[in-house]
A = this chain, B = another copy of it.
Amino acid sequence: MATETKNWESLGKSKLSSINNSIPNKWRISSIPSVEEQRDVTGPFIQKLLSKNEVEITETDAVGIVEKTSTGKWTAEEVATAFCHRASLAHQLTNCLHEIFFDAAIEDAKKLDKFYAEHNKPVGPLHGLPVSLKDQFHVKGVETTMGYIGWIGTFMGKKGTGKEKVFESEMVKELRALGAILYCKTSVPHTLMAGETVNNIIGYTTNPKNRNLSCGGSSGGEGALISLRGSPVGFGTDIGGSIRIPAAFNGLYGIRPSSGRLPYEGMANSMDGQNSVLSVVGPLSHSLRSLRLVVKSLLSQQPWLHDPLVHEIPWRDDQEKQMLDIIDNGELAFGIMKDDGVIHPHPPVRRAMDMAARTLKKLGHHVIEWKPPGHERGAEILVEVWKSDGGADIHGSIGLSGEPLAAQVADIYGTGVTEQANASKIAALNIAKREFQKEYMEYWNSTVDLTGTGRPVDAFIIPSAPFAAARPRKFKYLGYSGILNTLDYTCCIVPVTTVDKRLDVVDKDFKPFNEQDKDIAADYDPEVYDGAHVAVQLVGRRLQEEKVLALAEHLGDALKVIDLDE
Protein backbone atom coordinates (compact mmCIF):
# COMPACT_ATOMS: atom_id res chain seq x y z
CA MET A 1 0.00 0.00 0.00
CA ALA A 2 2.74 2.43 0.88
CA THR A 3 4.36 2.04 -2.53
CA GLU A 4 1.17 2.30 -4.54
CA THR A 5 0.75 5.74 -6.07
CA LYS A 6 -2.75 6.94 -6.70
CA ASN A 7 -3.58 8.18 -10.17
CA TRP A 8 -4.23 11.77 -9.08
CA GLU A 9 -0.92 11.78 -7.23
CA SER A 10 1.05 10.70 -10.23
CA LEU A 11 -0.74 13.20 -12.46
CA GLY A 12 0.06 15.95 -9.97
CA LYS A 13 3.70 14.93 -9.72
CA SER A 14 4.04 14.77 -13.45
CA LYS A 15 2.55 18.24 -13.84
CA LEU A 16 4.84 19.56 -11.10
CA SER A 17 7.88 18.09 -12.85
CA SER A 18 6.79 19.67 -16.09
CA ILE A 19 6.51 23.07 -14.37
CA ASN A 20 9.87 22.75 -12.68
CA ASN A 21 11.54 21.43 -15.81
CA SER A 22 10.56 24.63 -17.60
CA ILE A 23 13.18 26.42 -15.53
CA PRO A 24 16.50 26.51 -17.37
CA ASN A 25 19.29 24.68 -15.57
CA LYS A 26 21.40 27.80 -15.36
CA TRP A 27 18.75 29.40 -13.18
CA ARG A 28 18.44 26.60 -10.65
CA ILE A 29 19.26 27.24 -7.02
CA SER A 30 21.60 24.54 -5.75
CA SER A 31 20.40 24.60 -2.20
CA ILE A 32 17.68 26.46 -0.38
CA PRO A 33 18.20 27.29 3.29
CA SER A 34 15.67 26.20 5.90
CA VAL A 35 13.21 28.70 7.35
CA GLU A 36 15.24 28.71 10.56
CA GLU A 37 18.37 29.58 8.63
CA GLN A 38 16.74 32.18 6.41
CA ARG A 39 13.29 33.42 7.31
CA ASP A 40 13.29 36.24 4.74
CA VAL A 41 14.31 35.36 1.18
CA THR A 42 13.41 38.75 -0.33
CA GLY A 43 15.92 41.59 -0.79
CA PRO A 44 19.59 40.72 -0.22
CA PHE A 45 18.99 36.97 -0.25
CA ILE A 46 17.54 36.78 -3.74
CA GLN A 47 19.62 39.67 -5.05
CA LYS A 48 22.76 37.58 -4.54
CA LEU A 49 21.48 35.10 -7.11
CA LEU A 50 21.19 37.75 -9.83
CA SER A 51 23.53 39.99 -11.80
CA LYS A 52 23.70 43.67 -10.91
CA ASN A 53 21.94 44.55 -14.16
CA GLU A 54 19.18 42.04 -13.45
CA VAL A 55 18.68 43.47 -9.98
CA GLU A 56 18.42 46.96 -11.38
CA ILE A 57 15.84 45.94 -13.98
CA THR A 58 13.72 43.80 -11.68
CA GLU A 59 13.69 46.36 -8.89
CA THR A 60 12.44 49.08 -11.22
CA ASP A 61 8.70 49.48 -11.04
CA ALA A 62 6.32 49.13 -13.98
CA VAL A 63 6.26 52.85 -14.71
CA GLY A 64 10.06 52.98 -14.61
CA ILE A 65 10.33 49.95 -16.88
CA VAL A 66 8.08 51.31 -19.62
CA GLU A 67 9.91 54.63 -19.44
CA LYS A 68 13.07 52.73 -20.39
CA THR A 69 11.58 50.29 -22.89
CA SER A 70 9.56 53.02 -24.60
CA THR A 71 12.64 55.14 -25.19
CA GLY A 72 15.00 52.39 -26.27
CA LYS A 73 17.09 52.53 -23.08
CA TRP A 74 16.28 48.91 -22.27
CA THR A 75 15.27 46.25 -24.75
CA ALA A 76 12.11 44.30 -24.09
CA GLU A 77 14.25 41.18 -24.35
CA GLU A 78 16.66 42.07 -21.58
CA VAL A 79 13.78 43.08 -19.34
CA ALA A 80 11.87 39.88 -20.05
CA THR A 81 14.95 37.77 -19.49
CA ALA A 82 15.70 39.40 -16.15
CA PHE A 83 12.15 38.81 -14.91
CA CYS A 84 12.10 35.23 -16.20
CA HIS A 85 15.28 34.62 -14.24
CA ARG A 86 13.98 36.22 -11.08
CA ALA A 87 10.59 34.49 -11.39
CA SER A 88 12.45 31.18 -11.66
CA LEU A 89 14.19 31.89 -8.39
CA ALA A 90 10.94 33.02 -6.77
CA HIS A 91 9.25 29.79 -7.76
CA GLN A 92 12.07 27.68 -6.38
CA LEU A 93 11.86 29.58 -3.10
CA THR A 94 8.06 29.63 -2.68
CA ASN A 95 6.27 27.37 -5.23
CA CYS A 96 4.54 30.36 -6.75
CA LEU A 97 4.17 29.32 -10.41
CA HIS A 98 1.73 27.06 -12.23
CA GLU A 99 2.76 27.75 -15.80
CA ILE A 100 6.07 28.92 -17.22
CA PHE A 101 6.39 30.10 -20.82
CA PHE A 102 9.63 32.00 -20.91
CA ASP A 103 10.46 31.03 -24.49
CA ALA A 104 7.23 32.52 -25.80
CA ALA A 105 7.90 35.62 -23.71
CA ILE A 106 11.38 36.11 -25.15
CA GLU A 107 10.00 35.63 -28.67
CA ASP A 108 7.32 38.25 -28.00
CA ALA A 109 9.95 40.58 -26.55
CA LYS A 110 12.09 40.25 -29.64
CA LYS A 111 9.10 41.21 -31.79
CA LEU A 112 8.59 44.32 -29.68
CA ASP A 113 12.25 45.22 -30.03
CA LYS A 114 11.97 44.77 -33.78
CA PHE A 115 8.93 47.03 -33.84
CA TYR A 116 10.76 49.65 -31.82
CA ALA A 117 13.81 49.44 -34.07
CA GLU A 118 11.65 49.92 -37.15
CA HIS A 119 9.24 52.58 -35.90
CA ASN A 120 11.19 54.23 -33.10
CA LYS A 121 8.12 54.15 -30.90
CA PRO A 122 6.51 51.70 -28.49
CA VAL A 123 3.59 49.51 -29.57
CA GLY A 124 1.55 50.71 -26.60
CA PRO A 125 1.71 52.10 -23.07
CA LEU A 126 2.91 48.77 -21.65
CA HIS A 127 5.64 48.20 -24.27
CA GLY A 128 7.90 45.45 -22.98
CA LEU A 129 6.37 45.31 -19.50
CA PRO A 130 6.36 41.79 -18.05
CA VAL A 131 2.99 41.07 -16.46
CA SER A 132 2.28 37.95 -14.40
CA LEU A 133 -1.17 36.37 -14.32
CA LYS A 134 -3.04 34.28 -11.80
CA ASP A 135 -3.82 30.84 -13.15
CA GLN A 136 -7.37 31.77 -14.13
CA PHE A 137 -6.31 33.58 -17.29
CA HIS A 138 -6.21 31.49 -20.42
CA VAL A 139 -3.01 32.05 -22.39
CA LYS A 140 -2.24 30.28 -25.64
CA GLY A 141 0.46 27.63 -25.47
CA VAL A 142 -0.16 26.68 -21.84
CA GLU A 143 -3.04 25.26 -19.91
CA THR A 144 -5.15 26.53 -17.03
CA THR A 145 -5.45 24.14 -14.11
CA MET A 146 -6.50 26.50 -11.33
CA GLY A 147 -4.71 23.94 -9.15
CA TYR A 148 -7.12 21.12 -10.04
CA ILE A 149 -5.52 17.84 -11.03
CA GLY A 150 -8.68 17.04 -12.97
CA TRP A 151 -8.14 20.06 -15.21
CA ILE A 152 -4.67 18.96 -16.35
CA GLY A 153 -4.72 18.34 -20.10
CA THR A 154 -8.24 19.78 -20.50
CA PHE A 155 -10.01 23.10 -20.96
CA MET A 156 -11.51 23.73 -17.54
CA GLY A 157 -12.12 20.03 -16.98
CA LYS A 158 -13.43 19.30 -20.46
CA LYS A 159 -11.57 17.53 -23.23
CA GLY A 160 -11.88 18.10 -26.93
CA THR A 161 -13.31 21.61 -26.73
CA GLY A 162 -10.88 22.89 -29.32
CA LYS A 163 -9.95 25.66 -26.92
CA GLU A 164 -7.13 23.83 -25.14
CA LYS A 165 -3.94 25.92 -25.21
CA VAL A 166 -5.42 28.12 -27.96
CA PHE A 167 -8.14 30.25 -26.40
CA GLU A 168 -7.10 33.51 -24.71
CA SER A 169 -9.02 35.51 -22.13
CA GLU A 170 -10.15 38.99 -23.14
CA MET A 171 -7.71 40.79 -20.86
CA VAL A 172 -4.84 38.70 -22.18
CA LYS A 173 -5.59 39.99 -25.66
CA GLU A 174 -5.77 43.54 -24.35
CA LEU A 175 -2.50 43.24 -22.44
CA ARG A 176 -0.80 41.98 -25.58
CA ALA A 177 -2.26 44.85 -27.61
CA LEU A 178 -0.85 47.27 -25.02
CA GLY A 179 2.63 45.78 -25.42
CA ALA A 180 2.82 43.70 -22.24
CA ILE A 181 4.96 40.55 -22.10
CA LEU A 182 3.29 37.47 -20.61
CA TYR A 183 5.67 34.89 -19.20
CA CYS A 184 4.15 32.95 -16.31
CA LYS A 185 0.93 32.06 -14.50
CA THR A 186 0.88 31.97 -10.76
CA SER A 187 -0.32 29.56 -8.12
CA VAL A 188 -3.75 29.47 -6.49
CA PRO A 189 -5.48 27.30 -3.93
CA HIS A 190 -7.56 24.85 -5.93
CA THR A 191 -11.20 26.11 -5.95
CA LEU A 192 -9.84 29.67 -5.32
CA MET A 193 -11.88 29.74 -2.13
CA ALA A 194 -9.11 30.10 0.47
CA GLY A 195 -6.89 32.74 2.05
CA GLU A 196 -3.86 30.48 1.66
CA THR A 197 -2.40 28.96 -1.49
CA VAL A 198 -2.31 25.19 -1.55
CA ASN A 199 -3.11 22.49 -4.07
CA ASN A 200 -2.13 18.97 -4.98
CA ILE A 201 0.13 20.06 -7.83
CA ILE A 202 2.56 22.64 -6.45
CA GLY A 203 1.89 22.02 -2.75
CA TYR A 204 1.99 25.14 -0.54
CA THR A 205 3.09 28.64 -1.53
CA THR A 206 4.96 30.31 1.31
CA ASN A 207 5.45 33.94 2.22
CA PRO A 208 8.90 35.03 1.06
CA LYS A 209 9.20 37.80 3.64
CA ASN A 210 8.56 35.40 6.49
CA ARG A 211 8.53 31.80 5.45
CA ASN A 212 6.72 30.79 8.64
CA LEU A 213 3.65 32.31 7.11
CA SER A 214 1.28 31.99 4.19
CA CYS A 215 1.58 34.19 1.10
CA GLY A 216 -2.19 34.56 1.30
CA GLY A 217 -4.76 33.54 -1.26
CA SER A 218 -6.29 33.05 -3.58
CA SER A 219 -3.97 35.18 -5.74
CA GLY A 220 -1.19 33.88 -3.52
CA GLY A 221 1.31 33.06 -6.24
CA GLU A 222 1.05 36.65 -7.44
CA GLY A 223 1.73 37.89 -3.92
CA ALA A 224 4.84 35.75 -3.44
CA LEU A 225 6.19 36.35 -6.94
CA ILE A 226 5.78 40.13 -6.85
CA SER A 227 7.11 40.29 -3.29
CA LEU A 228 10.31 38.69 -4.58
CA ARG A 229 10.22 41.10 -7.53
CA GLY A 230 9.83 38.25 -9.94
CA SER A 231 7.15 40.42 -11.54
CA PRO A 232 6.67 44.19 -11.63
CA VAL A 233 2.91 43.90 -11.72
CA GLY A 234 0.47 41.02 -11.89
CA PHE A 235 -3.24 40.35 -11.97
CA GLY A 236 -5.29 38.48 -9.44
CA THR A 237 -9.01 38.13 -8.79
CA ASP A 238 -11.07 38.82 -5.70
CA ILE A 239 -14.41 37.51 -4.43
CA GLY A 240 -13.64 37.72 -0.72
CA GLY A 241 -10.17 39.26 -0.53
CA SER A 242 -8.18 37.24 -3.02
CA ILE A 243 -6.31 40.23 -4.42
CA ARG A 244 -6.07 42.13 -1.15
CA ILE A 245 -5.02 39.33 1.18
CA PRO A 246 -1.91 38.42 -0.86
CA ALA A 247 -1.16 42.11 -1.38
CA ALA A 248 -1.36 42.78 2.35
CA PHE A 249 0.59 39.67 3.33
CA ASN A 250 3.38 40.56 0.89
CA GLY A 251 3.81 44.29 1.42
CA LEU A 252 2.21 45.23 -1.90
CA TYR A 253 -0.38 47.61 -3.19
CA GLY A 254 -3.37 45.79 -4.62
CA ILE A 255 -6.64 47.19 -5.85
CA ARG A 256 -9.98 45.40 -5.89
CA PRO A 257 -11.93 47.44 -8.43
CA SER A 258 -15.70 47.34 -8.30
CA SER A 259 -17.34 44.77 -10.52
CA GLY A 260 -17.81 45.92 -14.08
CA ARG A 261 -14.69 48.06 -14.33
CA LEU A 262 -12.08 45.61 -15.69
CA PRO A 263 -12.77 42.71 -18.06
CA TYR A 264 -13.24 39.23 -16.57
CA GLU A 265 -14.52 37.90 -19.91
CA GLY A 266 -13.17 34.52 -20.93
CA MET A 267 -11.41 33.67 -17.67
CA ALA A 268 -11.67 30.42 -15.73
CA ASN A 269 -13.47 30.75 -12.43
CA SER A 270 -15.14 28.84 -9.65
CA MET A 271 -18.93 28.84 -9.65
CA ASP A 272 -18.95 30.73 -12.92
CA GLY A 273 -22.37 32.24 -13.51
CA GLN A 274 -23.01 32.91 -9.83
CA ASN A 275 -23.78 36.61 -10.03
CA SER A 276 -24.97 37.61 -6.57
CA VAL A 277 -21.43 38.71 -5.71
CA LEU A 278 -19.14 38.87 -8.71
CA SER A 279 -15.47 38.05 -8.60
CA VAL A 280 -13.40 40.94 -9.97
CA VAL A 281 -9.96 41.18 -11.53
CA GLY A 282 -7.30 43.66 -10.48
CA PRO A 283 -3.56 44.28 -10.24
CA LEU A 284 -0.97 43.91 -7.45
CA SER A 285 2.39 45.67 -7.42
CA HIS A 286 5.14 47.15 -5.27
CA SER A 287 4.24 50.63 -6.46
CA LEU A 288 0.90 52.33 -6.52
CA ARG A 289 1.65 54.12 -9.75
CA SER A 290 2.12 50.74 -11.43
CA LEU A 291 -1.45 49.86 -10.56
CA ARG A 292 -2.61 53.12 -12.08
CA LEU A 293 -0.58 52.49 -15.23
CA VAL A 294 -2.14 49.12 -15.94
CA VAL A 295 -5.70 50.08 -14.97
CA LYS A 296 -5.57 53.21 -17.11
CA SER A 297 -3.99 51.33 -19.99
CA LEU A 298 -6.59 48.57 -19.91
CA LEU A 299 -9.42 51.10 -19.90
CA SER A 300 -7.89 52.71 -23.00
CA GLN A 301 -8.73 49.44 -24.76
CA GLN A 302 -12.47 50.10 -24.23
CA PRO A 303 -13.06 46.73 -22.61
CA TRP A 304 -16.83 47.39 -22.59
CA LEU A 305 -16.79 46.68 -26.31
CA HIS A 306 -15.58 43.14 -25.66
CA ASP A 307 -16.94 42.21 -22.23
CA PRO A 308 -20.70 42.45 -21.70
CA LEU A 309 -20.26 42.90 -17.95
CA VAL A 310 -17.93 45.92 -18.14
CA HIS A 311 -19.57 49.33 -17.84
CA GLU A 312 -18.67 52.08 -20.27
CA ILE A 313 -16.56 54.08 -17.83
CA PRO A 314 -13.23 55.20 -19.27
CA TRP A 315 -10.41 56.35 -17.02
CA ARG A 316 -11.70 59.62 -15.56
CA ASP A 317 -8.88 62.17 -15.44
CA ASP A 318 -11.26 64.75 -14.02
CA GLN A 319 -12.11 62.61 -11.00
CA GLU A 320 -8.44 61.95 -10.37
CA LYS A 321 -7.59 65.61 -10.74
CA GLN A 322 -10.38 66.66 -8.42
CA MET A 323 -9.01 64.34 -5.74
CA LEU A 324 -5.41 65.46 -6.33
CA ASP A 325 -6.49 69.08 -6.00
CA ILE A 326 -8.00 68.38 -2.61
CA ILE A 327 -4.91 66.43 -1.60
CA ASP A 328 -2.71 69.36 -2.56
CA ASN A 329 -4.83 72.26 -1.42
CA GLY A 330 -7.57 71.05 0.85
CA GLU A 331 -8.56 68.79 3.65
CA LEU A 332 -9.67 65.20 3.38
CA ALA A 333 -11.78 63.21 5.77
CA PHE A 334 -11.35 59.54 6.59
CA GLY A 335 -13.33 57.06 8.61
CA ILE A 336 -11.24 54.74 10.73
CA MET A 337 -12.59 51.43 11.99
CA LYS A 338 -10.11 49.78 14.33
CA ASP A 339 -12.08 46.57 14.60
CA ASP A 340 -15.34 45.22 13.18
CA GLY A 341 -16.80 44.16 16.51
CA VAL A 342 -16.41 40.49 15.64
CA ILE A 343 -12.67 39.78 15.59
CA HIS A 344 -9.93 41.96 17.07
CA PRO A 345 -6.88 42.54 14.90
CA HIS A 346 -3.55 41.22 16.21
CA PRO A 347 -1.18 43.73 17.85
CA PRO A 348 0.84 44.53 14.69
CA VAL A 349 -2.35 45.23 12.73
CA ARG A 350 -3.59 47.50 15.51
CA ARG A 351 -0.29 49.36 15.36
CA ALA A 352 -0.54 49.71 11.58
CA MET A 353 -4.07 51.11 11.86
CA ASP A 354 -2.83 53.54 14.46
CA MET A 355 0.07 54.59 12.24
CA ALA A 356 -2.30 55.20 9.34
CA ALA A 357 -4.64 57.32 11.46
CA ARG A 358 -1.82 59.35 12.98
CA THR A 359 -0.25 59.90 9.57
CA LEU A 360 -3.49 61.24 8.15
CA LYS A 361 -3.89 63.57 11.11
CA LYS A 362 -0.31 64.81 10.72
CA LEU A 363 -1.17 65.60 7.11
CA GLY A 364 -3.94 67.84 8.41
CA HIS A 365 -6.83 65.60 7.46
CA HIS A 366 -9.96 64.85 9.45
CA VAL A 367 -10.34 61.43 10.97
CA ILE A 368 -13.65 60.19 12.36
CA GLU A 369 -14.58 56.92 13.94
CA TRP A 370 -16.22 54.66 11.34
CA LYS A 371 -19.29 53.03 12.86
CA PRO A 372 -21.20 51.47 9.97
CA PRO A 373 -24.07 49.01 10.26
CA GLY A 374 -23.76 45.27 10.40
CA HIS A 375 -20.33 44.08 9.27
CA GLU A 376 -21.15 40.65 10.63
CA ARG A 377 -24.32 40.50 8.55
CA GLY A 378 -22.47 41.64 5.42
CA ALA A 379 -19.92 38.85 5.77
CA GLU A 380 -22.64 36.27 6.39
CA ILE A 381 -24.36 37.24 3.15
CA LEU A 382 -21.10 36.63 1.29
CA VAL A 383 -20.59 33.18 2.76
CA GLU A 384 -24.20 32.26 1.96
CA VAL A 385 -23.61 33.31 -1.64
CA TRP A 386 -20.47 31.18 -1.80
CA LYS A 387 -22.39 28.19 -0.52
CA SER A 388 -25.43 28.70 -2.70
CA ASP A 389 -24.68 25.80 -5.05
CA GLY A 390 -23.94 23.52 -2.12
CA GLY A 391 -20.38 23.06 -3.36
CA ALA A 392 -21.55 21.41 -6.59
CA ASP A 393 -19.09 23.29 -8.78
CA ILE A 394 -15.96 22.77 -6.70
CA HIS A 395 -16.70 19.20 -5.74
CA GLY A 396 -17.38 18.55 -9.41
CA SER A 397 -13.89 19.73 -10.34
CA ILE A 398 -12.25 17.97 -7.40
CA GLY A 399 -14.17 14.82 -8.30
CA LEU A 400 -12.75 14.71 -11.81
CA SER A 401 -9.52 13.26 -10.40
CA GLY A 402 -10.55 12.06 -6.98
CA GLU A 403 -7.89 14.25 -5.37
CA PRO A 404 -8.51 15.30 -1.77
CA LEU A 405 -9.89 18.75 -1.09
CA ALA A 406 -7.47 21.01 0.79
CA ALA A 407 -8.40 21.38 4.44
CA GLN A 408 -8.50 25.17 4.03
CA VAL A 409 -11.36 24.83 1.55
CA ALA A 410 -13.11 21.95 3.31
CA ASP A 411 -13.61 24.33 6.24
CA ILE A 412 -16.21 26.08 4.10
CA TYR A 413 -17.43 23.42 1.71
CA GLY A 414 -17.26 20.22 3.72
CA THR A 415 -16.45 16.99 2.00
CA GLY A 416 -19.32 16.71 -0.43
CA VAL A 417 -22.18 18.50 -2.14
CA THR A 418 -24.94 19.76 0.13
CA GLU A 419 -28.35 21.22 -0.68
CA GLN A 420 -28.51 23.93 -3.31
CA ALA A 421 -30.30 27.22 -2.84
CA ASN A 422 -33.30 27.62 -5.13
CA ALA A 423 -34.34 30.71 -7.09
CA SER A 424 -36.45 32.12 -4.25
CA LYS A 425 -33.61 31.75 -1.76
CA ILE A 426 -31.11 33.34 -4.12
CA ALA A 427 -33.50 36.22 -4.72
CA ALA A 428 -33.87 36.70 -0.97
CA LEU A 429 -30.08 36.75 -0.68
CA ASN A 430 -29.83 39.35 -3.43
CA ILE A 431 -32.36 41.50 -1.61
CA ALA A 432 -30.49 41.10 1.69
CA LYS A 433 -27.31 42.19 -0.07
CA ARG A 434 -28.96 45.20 -1.70
CA GLU A 435 -30.56 46.27 1.57
CA PHE A 436 -27.22 45.98 3.34
CA GLN A 437 -25.54 48.04 0.61
CA LYS A 438 -28.28 50.66 0.86
CA GLU A 439 -27.99 50.90 4.63
CA TYR A 440 -24.20 51.19 4.47
CA MET A 441 -24.38 53.81 1.73
CA GLU A 442 -26.75 55.96 3.75
CA TYR A 443 -24.45 55.65 6.75
CA TRP A 444 -21.62 56.89 4.54
CA ASN A 445 -23.80 59.78 3.30
CA SER A 446 -24.63 60.67 6.89
CA THR A 447 -20.98 61.38 7.75
CA VAL A 448 -21.31 64.69 5.93
CA ASP A 449 -22.35 66.07 9.33
CA LEU A 450 -19.23 64.79 11.07
CA THR A 451 -16.27 65.43 8.82
CA GLY A 452 -15.87 69.18 8.85
CA THR A 453 -15.08 69.20 5.12
CA GLY A 454 -18.63 69.69 3.89
CA ARG A 455 -18.42 66.24 2.30
CA PRO A 456 -19.00 62.75 3.64
CA VAL A 457 -15.71 60.91 4.31
CA ASP A 458 -13.57 60.57 1.19
CA ALA A 459 -12.63 57.03 2.14
CA PHE A 460 -12.49 54.78 5.16
CA ILE A 461 -9.71 52.62 6.47
CA ILE A 462 -10.05 49.20 8.04
CA PRO A 463 -7.65 46.33 8.69
CA SER A 464 -6.97 44.04 5.72
CA ALA A 465 -7.30 41.02 7.99
CA PRO A 466 -7.00 40.41 11.73
CA PHE A 467 -3.48 39.06 11.17
CA ALA A 468 -0.38 40.41 9.42
CA ALA A 469 -0.32 37.15 7.47
CA ALA A 470 -1.89 33.80 8.22
CA ARG A 471 0.07 30.96 9.72
CA PRO A 472 -0.47 27.79 7.71
CA ARG A 473 -3.95 26.35 8.26
CA LYS A 474 -4.85 29.38 10.36
CA PHE A 475 -6.59 31.71 7.93
CA LYS A 476 -9.73 31.75 10.01
CA TYR A 477 -11.57 34.99 9.30
CA LEU A 478 -12.34 36.85 6.11
CA GLY A 479 -14.78 39.44 7.45
CA TYR A 480 -12.48 42.42 6.96
CA SER A 481 -11.93 41.78 3.27
CA GLY A 482 -15.15 39.94 2.42
CA ILE A 483 -17.45 42.70 3.62
CA LEU A 484 -16.20 44.86 0.77
CA ASN A 485 -17.12 42.23 -1.80
CA THR A 486 -20.66 42.27 -0.47
CA LEU A 487 -20.62 46.07 -0.72
CA ASP A 488 -18.77 46.00 -4.08
CA TYR A 489 -16.67 48.92 -2.92
CA THR A 490 -13.41 49.91 -4.56
CA CYS A 491 -10.59 49.18 -2.14
CA CYS A 492 -6.84 49.27 -2.14
CA ILE A 493 -4.27 47.69 0.14
CA VAL A 494 -1.68 50.12 1.48
CA PRO A 495 1.49 48.60 3.00
CA VAL A 496 2.27 50.20 6.35
CA THR A 497 5.06 48.48 8.25
CA THR A 498 6.50 45.12 9.31
CA VAL A 499 5.95 43.18 12.51
CA ASP A 500 8.42 44.10 15.22
CA LYS A 501 8.38 41.58 18.02
CA ARG A 502 9.60 44.21 20.48
CA LEU A 503 6.76 46.60 19.68
CA ASP A 504 4.02 44.13 18.84
CA VAL A 505 3.81 42.23 22.07
CA VAL A 506 0.92 40.02 23.10
CA ASP A 507 -1.79 42.01 24.80
CA LYS A 508 -2.11 40.50 28.26
CA ASP A 509 -5.33 42.36 29.03
CA PHE A 510 -7.04 41.18 25.85
CA LYS A 511 -10.80 40.77 26.18
CA PRO A 512 -12.19 38.72 23.31
CA PHE A 513 -15.53 39.47 21.68
CA ASN A 514 -16.29 35.76 21.42
CA GLU A 515 -14.72 32.29 21.22
CA GLN A 516 -13.50 32.69 17.65
CA ASP A 517 -11.90 35.99 18.57
CA LYS A 518 -10.10 34.29 21.44
CA ASP A 519 -8.96 31.49 19.14
CA ILE A 520 -7.61 33.89 16.51
CA ALA A 521 -5.87 36.04 19.11
CA ALA A 522 -4.08 32.92 20.34
CA ASP A 523 -2.59 32.43 16.87
CA TYR A 524 -0.47 35.53 17.32
CA ASP A 525 3.12 34.86 18.36
CA PRO A 526 5.59 37.74 18.06
CA GLU A 527 8.49 35.33 17.51
CA VAL A 528 6.77 33.60 14.59
CA TYR A 529 5.46 36.82 13.07
CA ASP A 530 8.56 38.99 13.43
CA GLY A 531 9.39 40.67 10.12
CA ALA A 532 6.09 40.03 8.38
CA HIS A 533 4.41 42.76 6.34
CA VAL A 534 1.45 44.66 7.78
CA ALA A 535 -1.03 46.64 5.71
CA VAL A 536 -4.37 48.40 5.88
CA GLN A 537 -7.27 48.71 3.46
CA LEU A 538 -8.38 52.04 2.05
CA VAL A 539 -11.95 51.92 0.83
CA GLY A 540 -13.92 54.12 -1.58
CA ARG A 541 -17.43 53.88 -2.89
CA ARG A 542 -18.40 51.73 -5.88
CA LEU A 543 -16.54 52.45 -9.12
CA GLN A 544 -14.23 55.07 -7.60
CA GLU A 545 -10.98 53.56 -8.82
CA GLU A 546 -9.39 56.88 -9.78
CA LYS A 547 -10.06 58.42 -6.37
CA VAL A 548 -9.07 55.36 -4.39
CA LEU A 549 -5.75 55.05 -6.22
CA ALA A 550 -5.01 58.73 -5.60
CA LEU A 551 -5.82 58.44 -1.90
CA ALA A 552 -3.91 55.18 -1.46
CA GLU A 553 -0.85 56.76 -3.03
CA HIS A 554 -1.21 59.80 -0.79
CA LEU A 555 -1.34 57.67 2.34
CA GLY A 556 1.34 55.22 1.20
CA ASP A 557 3.77 58.00 0.31
CA ALA A 558 3.14 59.81 3.58
CA LEU A 559 3.72 56.66 5.61
CA LYS A 560 7.21 56.46 4.11
CA VAL A 561 8.26 60.01 4.97
CA ILE A 562 6.34 61.21 8.00
CA ASP A 563 8.01 60.65 11.34
CA LEU A 564 5.22 59.91 13.78
CA ASP A 565 7.49 60.32 16.79
CA GLU A 566 8.26 63.92 16.02
Contact = CB atoms under 8 A, between A and B. Distances in A.
Interface stretch (A226-234, A421-429, A477-485): A421-429
A167 interface: no
A46 interface: no
Interface string A284-316: 000000000000000000001111110111000
Contacts of A317: none
Interface stretch (A28-36, A51-59, A328-336, A387-395): A387-395
A306 B542 contact: no
Interface stretch (A86-94, A211-219, A266-274): A266-274
A390 B427 CA distance: 13
Contact of A273 (B422, B431, B544): B431
Given A311-B543, A438-B308, A423 B420 contact: yes
Nearest to A312: B543
Contact of A274 (B307, B313, B392, B423): B423
Contacts of A122: none
Interface string A124-143: 00000000000000000000
Contacts of A306: 438, 441-442, 445
Given A392-B424, A420-B424, A423-B426, 19 more contacts: A273-B429, A275-B275, A304-B541, A304-B543, A306-B441, A306-B442, A308-B437, A308-B488, A308-B542, A311-B313, A311-B543, A312-B543, A313-B313, A388-B423, A389-B422, A389-B423, A390-B423, A392-B423, A393-B427
A260 interface: yes
Given A421-B423, A426-B273, A441 B389 contact: no
Q: Which of A273, A313, A390, A428 has the most CB of B within 10 A?
A: A273
Contacts of A429: 273
A42 interface: no
Interface string A247-271: 0000000000000100001000001
Given A305-B445, A308-B441, A431 B542 contact: no
Interface string A14-34: 000000000000000000000
A272 B441 contact: no
Interface string A40-68: 00000000000000000000000000000
For the complex of A and B, list the 4 residue pairs with the smallest distance between their C-beta atoms, beginning with the closest: A273-B427, A308-B437, A389-B423, A420-B422
Contacts of A304: 541-543
Contact of A544 (B312, B422, B423, B442): B312
Number of copies: 2
20 contacts: A265-B438, A273-B427, A273-B428, A273-B429, A273-B430, A274-B423, A275-B430, A306-B438, A306-B441, A306-B445, A308-B441, A308-B542, A309-B434, A312-B313, A312-B543, A312-B544, A388-B423, A389-B427, A420-B422, A421-B422
Contacts of A272: 427, 431
A276 interface: yes
A431 B434 CA distance: 22
A182 to B, nearest CB: 22
A442 B170 CA distance: 12
Contacts of A544: 312
A423 to B, nearest CB: 4
A392 B422 CA distance: 11
A151 B306 CA distance: 44
A421 to B, nearest CB: 5
Given A275-B276, A392-B424, A424-B392, A305 B441 contact: yes
A390 to B, nearest CB: 7
Nearest to A316: B312
Interface string A533-555: 00000000111100000000000
Contacts of A438: 265, 306-308
Contacts of A420: 422-424
A416 to B, nearest CB: 15
B426 A312 contact: no
Contacts of A271: 427
Contacts of A305: 441, 445, 541
A427 to B, nearest CB: 3
Contact of A308 (B309, B434, B445): B434
Nearest to A306: B441
A368 B307 CA distance: 24
Contacts of A445: 305-306
A441 B266 CA distance: 14
A391 B184 CA distance: 49
A309 to B, nearest CB: 7
Interface in A438-458: 438, 441-442, 445
